Structure 1
Amino acid sequence: MVEVATEGSSGSAGLMLHAALKELQRGVTDGLHYGAQLSVVFRGRRSDLIVGEAGPGQPMTSEATLCWSSSVKPLASLALAQLQEKGLLRFSDPVSMHLPGFAACGKSGITLANCLTHTAGLWGSARGAGPGAPAEKVLQHICKQPLPPDWEPGKRCGYDSPAWYVLAGVVSAVDPLHRPYEKYLEEEIFAPLGLSSCSLGLSKSRRFELEASDRLASIYQARCLGGKPWRPVPEESRPEQEYPCPAGNGRGPASELASIYASLLPGAKQRLLTEEAVNELTQVARQGIVDELQGVDISWSLGFALSCILSGRHASPQAFGHGGSQSSWAFADPEHDLAVACLCNGKPGPELHYRRVGAISTAVYEDLGLASTSGSLRTFELPCGMGTF
């Protein structure tokens, strides 16, 4: 099944994404995913491609709500930038300025920027918090943990999901209304952009609504890995689906994730942040440091990966984005007025996933006539360890 939906100026034609569609369909044929959504916003025009199935015998649709996994992480960057624009914090602030208990065990020097660039050293600090512990309990546990031996924040790097519990805690603490992080995202990120299908975790009422309309879709182990078909990954258990994990449980369709990135492009009509704030968020903040968990040196801004496989081989140096657990990725390329989000419902392992990412993103640029004419394509080292970007 292929669905192409377009919106833009009156009478605008849909974006022709033939190469990207071929790569999406190749993923179904090769068993990398059962179905996928690709949403592309280019110069104000949008096209959504949908292939395959969301579940056994259930066609994928553009309204299906899938897990974003770590692709939700940049929302913390947006929330913190909003609070900075209001004069309530700065990225250079020590975390303990806003969460005093975080200073325990030698962590007083860790800044918000360290957390956003994966240089805080918190990557093992959530162990022992207990399965399904409320986010505030996980945060309390993290605050009590020491750093790894010889860790110097800002000087070493390890992909750091626990840091997002800390960042979410800061957002709630600094927010004048002290809303839970998931509520802040709902009211300050999703609602202003008119995104009604996004959430962090799933409330019971939200779950009922999605199940009643057959829009709740799951992620599965890829067929190419063998084993029983349609085997959901562990994070698709009911408790995991509902848990508002700030590091990895955003949910929604690809079209709405793409809309978030489109709001960050210069000249965007619907905005969450000023262009100056976006520029600050997307400048290089970490480079030349090998990630000790992923085994690669990827440049980072304040929460976004830069110059990496996510945006393919033709992207401009200004492209920024994030990915999620072998199944999702999204990016914006300001130079080309382009925002892209892709959600796949199969996890095929890191290497096959990143090759899928590169092929689809590269195809989007080629479809849009944005392929590099310099004769040289960007090449990338692929992560081989824990985490994703």
Structure 2
Amino acid sequence: MTTTTTTTELRLDAVRRLFDAEIERGIETGVQLSVSYRGQVVDLAVGENGAGHPMTTGTFVPWTCSSKPLGALAFALAWESGAVDLDTPVSKVLPEFTGGGKERVRVRDVLTHTVGMADPVLAVDTGGTDLGDFAWSDIDALIWAVICDAPAGPLPGSRMVYNPVTTWYVLDRLLGALDGGQSGDSYRSMLRRLGLTATLGIDPALPADQQVTVTASADQEEGLRYMQLASALPLPGVGVWGAVRDLRVVGEVLLNKGVHQGVPLVGPATVEALTATHWPGSPDRSICDTDFPYGLGVMTQPAIFGRRTSVRTFGHAGGNTSTLLVDPLFDLVVAVYWNGRLDDVKTFARRYALVRALYDDLGLPRLPRAGRQPASPHQPE
């Protein structure tokens, strides 16, 4: 187990230069970064929050899908208690989750995004009324009705279609049915257990200078609207707001085999199961935003994060603005939020650039890639 201490020894000069250059070029308005390396922690914030206020290490930012490992940990608690198993049919716990082939959906399919269902937020018909005009209880009921009315894929478990909202909404509903909780309580309970200040759903009382106003490139306006809608609601898996130093803590729990501040939260074998690859990704795809190697609530394709990462790297990305990266080989956890949504290709490039700069700052070696011999001291890579 690693004990973390806040330090100023990790200067991260290359990272700072990278962020300054990106902000100057208008790629983002600001960045928030939290790094844990061999027990040393450094938090960094640069630029501004999108509304003219400085970005600080405490500014609340949307984690979007990078929050999914939090739901995975909530499931892990129920799994270890014996309340549910990976192959438990969802309809056994949620009898209304039937029809259209949903009887064949197992908890495993939910956790690996292999249910094959449409995203309810995209399918909700509000009659032209803005969702913000509805009470959350009405939105919650509407989303659940849409999910229960939607068919599953032809054969659940046979095809991945990554779904930002539906799967984690169903997971939270299932966990709530097991312990008597309300919508979103699986996330709220985990945030409390970890002692985090992050919230499920944006706090309407939070002053504008303490949260980001999310920005986007001109070609991402539609994606930005969807992201703002989903992240503003208390939706498990997409709706967490908080500083990325809290997100880093979630990664540290996984790095430390389920231990938080010296206290076991879940067992090490369970963490190994969560972070192992359960869906390999379709062989005819390379890097795709709907079908890729996935564990139980974590992305397990190192190439998503950067070429400098080790083969054991896992984590999650979200909204083309945030990333949680855990590289066990180097005892490293990285949580980052860029206030500037980009398209998929530019998002990969930005994330790769950060990983290169950070690994250089930390003095981490360049690892040989599969199929390549390590470079000799006289051969450039």
Same fold, TM-score > 0.5, yes or no? yes
Equivalent residue for 1:156, pick from 126, 143, 159: 159
Report how far residue 134 of structure 1 moved: 2.1
Alignment of 1:100-249 (within 5 A): 100-124=95-119, 127-131=122-126, 132=131, 134-148=139-153, 151-161=154-164, 162-175=166-179, 178-187=180-189, 189-196=190-197, 198-202=198-202, 206-208=203-205, 210-211=206-207, 214-222=209-217, 225=218, 233-234=224-225, 242-249=232-239
Q: Contact 1:36–1:343 (CA<8 Å) still a contact in 2?
A: yes
Q: Give the direction of change, closer, same or farther, for the CA distance of 1:274–1:106 in structure 2 (3 Å limit).
A: same
Q: Give the direction of change, closer, same or farther, for the CA distance of 1:377–1:258 in structure 2 (3 Å limit).
A: farther
Report how far residue 347 of structure 1 moved: 0.8
The 3-state SS of whatever aligns with 1:347 is coil
**Post-superposition CA distance 1:287-315 (Å, at most 9, x none):** 14267994675211111111234432122
Q: Give the direction of change, closer, same or farther, for the CA distance of 1:79–1:226 in structure 2 (3 Å limit).
A: closer
Counterpart residue type for residue 194 of structure 2: L
Report how far residue 236 of structure 1 moved: 7.4
**Post-superposition CA distance 1:180-221 (Å, at most 9, x none):** 24333223x11222212x11113xxx321x217x31212111
**Post-superposition CA distance 1:227-265 (Å, at most 9, x none):** 99xx9942576x766421223221111111011111211
Equivalent residue for 2:365, pick from 339, 349, 371: 371
Q: Take 1:124 and 1:59, find their aligned partners in 2: how far apart are those partners?
A: 35
Q: Contact 2:4–2:36 (CA<8 Å) still a contact in 1?
A: no
Partner of 1:98: 93
Partner of 1:273: 266
Q: Contact 1:69–1:250 (CA<8 Å) still a contact in 2?
A: yes
Q: Take 1:293 and 1:356, find their aligned partners in 2: how far apart are those partners?
A: 15
Equivalent residue for 1:21, pick from 16, 20, 36: 16
TM-score, length-normalised on structure 1?
0.82
The farther-off stretch of 282-291 and 314-323 is 282-291
The 3-state SS of whatever aligns with 2:207 is helix
The farther-off stretch of 249-258 and 268-277 is 268-277
Q: Take 1:235 and 1:139, find their aligned partners in 2: how far apart are those partners?
A: 18
Report how far residue 375 of structure 1 moved: 7.4
Report how far residue 332 of structure 1 moved: 1.2
Q: Contact 1:67–1:218 (CA<8 Å) still a contact in 2?
A: no
Equivalent residue for 2:295, pick from 292, 296, 301: 301
Counterpart residue type for residue 268 of structure 2: E
The farther-off stretch of 263-272 and 163-172 is 263-272
Q: Contact 2:33–2:336 (CA<8 Å) still a contact in 1?
A: yes
Q: Take 1:25 and 1:60, find their aligned partners in 2: how far apart are those partners?
A: 13
Report how far residue 53 of structure 1 moved: 0.7
Q: Contact 1:121–1:147 (CA<8 Å) still a contact in 2?
A: yes
Q: Give the direction of change, closer, same or farther, for the CA distance of 1:377–1:163 in structure 2 (3 Å limit).
A: same
Partner of 1:4: none
Structure 1 residues not aligned, in runs of 5+? 1-6, 379-389
Report how far residue 42 of structure 1 moved: 0.9
Q: Take 1:171 and 1:227, find their aligned partners in 2: how far apart are those partners?
A: 34
TM-score, length-normalised on structure 2?
0.84
Q: Quick check: 1:339 aligned with 2:333?
A: yes
Q: Give the direction of change, closer, same or farther, for the CA distance of 1:283–1:33 in structure 2 (3 Å limit).
A: same
Partner of 1:263: 253
Q: Take 2:304 and 2:68, find their aligned partners in 1: how far apart are those partners?
A: 15
Structure 2 residues not aligned, in runs of 5+? 132-137, 373-381
Q: Contact 1:121–1:158 (CA<8 Å) still a contact in 2?
A: yes
Identity over the aligned pairs, expressed in percent?
30
Alignment of 1:305-384 (within 5 A): 305-374=299-368
Report how far residue 167 of structure 1 moved: 1.0
